Structure 1
């Protein structure tokens, strides 16, 4: 290990030690009060319904049930319940649906308005509203300084995917700016279907999804870039932190470090960015990907890594995705399994920062399990 590498690894060990000292519950963020943001969301939706011709007109007060970060019609159509947070998406319409909810009235035409799960109170509103009978879905995204425009990601996705794999994305009907330059909105056609919401069902969809994604890559174009120039790829410094934390066995960590040091070329193209089961809708004989807000030009295995991570049967998912992504190399200088491992490595590299954010959060334990599963999937990919 050269002098520069030792210095990087030394800094990584110091950073890892600071993360390891933290314990669940330490530094827990204050609870976020969503009540005022729900009110603001309803006002914003009402304004959009008045101004945007592609959205049904509101204006008449209607009854809703209101939760911490959503409002929905008491008789919400079954096809829209998947928008709701857990446990409401599974129990809406039954007796339990009235628990921990309060009645509210609002002058909006939407059947449901749902704020983002990880909505940041310091940022603008991020929400979706559904109009089932009119076959519409509205998404509202804030502009965050220093970040690529989410609305631009969505618009580019519709332009690219809508041309080369139109069945894979809902149709885009309209797009515009929010009042006072606080962000943008987009109106999509409603997709009749339900999210997979199951690791087993996601695993069964890996092959067809990978085939569809390769159609997007073929149309958009694929470039083989050195890892150091691939957007969103793992860096030497990030991997050094992962090694110092001991998240993966030494032999596996060394193989990834070697790939990073050799600056291998990986395939990059337009990617979805969040291929989890809740973003995959089963619509008849096809699968539709929703929520393209994290899309962008990135290693093609970024999407494959999440499919592999969250599928119930890891070996089967691995075989399916490697069969598809292994057909054409497009100038990559490592195997498809190694490309996949490098994308898993990038997911693991997010661990230190995300662990700090999740201290005291109910999802912290589930995330720790996910990280351990990610380490196993990385080893599986290298062994392929």
Structure 2
């Protein structure tokens, strides 16, 4: 087995199946085998899949500047899911067209399997009826119970998740980012890392690959549980989450990276954020002194998007989902997200500085290191420094106001960390 081969629990390799190179790679399913049936979808789907890919990658089409209608994206998403099902061994297939109801960013069967109904966003769970407002009937040859588009759909990098209640599966489809980041590859890599050191913290990866159009996908085991629904629930779960992440850090190991090496554009991006007038002068000056000091940060494997909806409470454990942002990064990046979204930030700050304090701080270079509180402050500053670019991207988007409030709350959290130093 090569050093780069992803492995799962117990050291079993996560390897592509025996498929032609242009078809998606899959892993052997741990579920009962599904009898494969021929679906006359390939020719009919190719055009729709191509249009869907061009919507997700503006460089593929000269008409990409025109924002597509949400329902059109839903119809195309259903067809892409059907195309993946026709090739991926881990997924079931439909014997013919199936009726779906579409509204907003959700396409679902009239009767959704109860096991996966929780995937429907809370704001979209009511009012589903054949004559309901804004309900559109869609037809697609897919076995999925429902398909949900990502909430940050800015018509450039659409992604989706589909669920299969009968088979206990979930499918994630996500194109590479404009900078070339492959979120699906990161999920597979996260399975390799997390399964070795905190196996209960992540669900099983059962298959992965990409369509001929280049769209990457991954098949995972569905979790019998519900995402945390509030900041209060996230506060209660935070100690367990941090303990799991700390186990990953200790097992995967730490590296020390100088701030300027970790993020060369940090000073420039922070300066642009200061220019917006968003950051109070005293707080901006304090962060500037940390940047100028250029000490070292602890790096290890992080989740990268630790919000309440990405934490699932099952009958016996907490599981983190959506690892497409995971990578080797400052260990306080996840803690900063928790600190931002919990109901009790004071208690969370105390827990973070306790659980993530001494681990990995000994060794060469430890004397020339930021303290844990300073590491957390810089993680907040890193997130805040995205403000000029991110706010420009969201102009006119329904979540524009939500994001603005989030950044202002994060400035409050940054000030709380400064006061704790």
Shorter-chain TM band = 0.7 to 0.9
CA contact (8 A) 2:235 2:343 kept: yes
Aligned to 1:164, which of 197, 206, 214? 197
Q: 2:146 aligns with which of 86, 97, 112?
A: 112
**Structure 2 equivalent of residue 258 of structure 1:** 289
What does residue 235 of structure 1 align with?
266
Contact 1:222-1:267 within 8 A present in 2 as well: yes
Higher relative contact order (CA 8 A, sep 6+): 1
Q: Distance in 1 between matches of 2:292 and 2:276?
A: 19
Deviation by residue 1:53-89 (Cα, 9 ceiling, x = unmatched): 1101212333321113331122213442332245214
Q: CA deviation at 1:50?
A: 1.9
Q: How does 1:136-175 map to 2 (within 5 A)?
A: 136-144=169-177, 146-175=179-208
Partner residue, 2:98 = 62
Q: Kindly tell me: are residues 364 and 121 of structure 1, through their superposed partners in 2, closer, same or farther at Cα, counting changes over 3 Å?
A: closer
Q: Please state how far the C-alpha of 1:96 moved relative to its aligned partner.
A: 10
Q: CA deviation at 1:119?
A: 3.5
- Could you say if the C-alpha distance between residues 134 and 321 of structure 1 is closer, same or farther in structure 2, counting changes exceeding 3 Å? same
Counterparts of 1:142-221 in structure 2 under 5 Å? 142-144=175-177, 146-180=179-213, 182-221=214-253
Contact 2:227–2:309 (CA<8 Å) still a contact in 1? yes
1:51–1:373: structure 2 CA closer, same or farther, 3 Å change rule? same
Aligned-partner Cα distance in 2 for 1:173–1:373: 38
For 1:327 and 1:51, the matched residues in 2 are separated by 48
Q: TM-score normalised to the size of structure 2?
A: 0.78
Q: TM-score scaled by structure 1? A: 0.85
| CA displacement at 1:246 relative to structure 2 | 3.2
Query: Which structure: greater helix fraction?
Result: 1
Change (3 A) 1:145 1:349: closer
Q: CA deviation at 1:350?
A: 0.7
2:315 aligned partner: 284
* Cα separation, 2, equivalents of 1:382 and 1:79: 44
The correspondence for 2:405, drawn from 369, 372, 375, is 369
* Residues 1:44 and 2:80 are matched in the alignment: yes
The Cα shift of 1:320 comes to 1.4
3-state SS of paired residue (2:174): strand
- From the superposition, tell whether residues 119 and 365 of structure 1 become closer, same or farther in structure 2 (CA, over 3 Å): closer
Work out whether residues 228 and 263 of structure 1, in 8 Å CA contact, stay in contact via their aligned partners in 2: yes
Distance 1:320 1:49, change over 3 A: same
- Within the candidate set 315, 335, 338, 2:346 is matched to 315
Distance 1:327 1:98, change over 3 A: farther
SS in 1 for 2:161: strand
Offset, 1:291? 0.6
Asked if 1:326 corresponds to 2:357, the answer is yes
- Residues 234, 349 of structure 1: 8 Å contact kept: no
Partner of 1:5: none
CA contact (8 A) 2:114 2:165 kept: no
**Correspondence for 1:23:** none
1:193 Cα deviation from its structure 2 partner? 0.7
User: Contact (CA 8 Å) 2:276, 2:388: kept in 1 or not?
Assistant: no
- Aligned-residue CA RMSD (Å): 2.2
Q: Alpha-carbon deviation of 1:242? A: 2.7
Distance 1:212 1:340 in 2: 18
How far does residue 369 in structure 1 lie from its aligned partner after superposition? Answer: 1.5
Task: Tell me, yes or no, if the aligned pair for 2:75 and 2:138 is still in contact at 8 Å.
Answer: no
C-alpha separation in 2, matches of 1:276 and 1:58: 34
**Residue number among 159, 163, 172 corresponding to 1:126 in the alignment:** 159
Q: Specify the alignment match of 2:59 in structure 1.
A: none
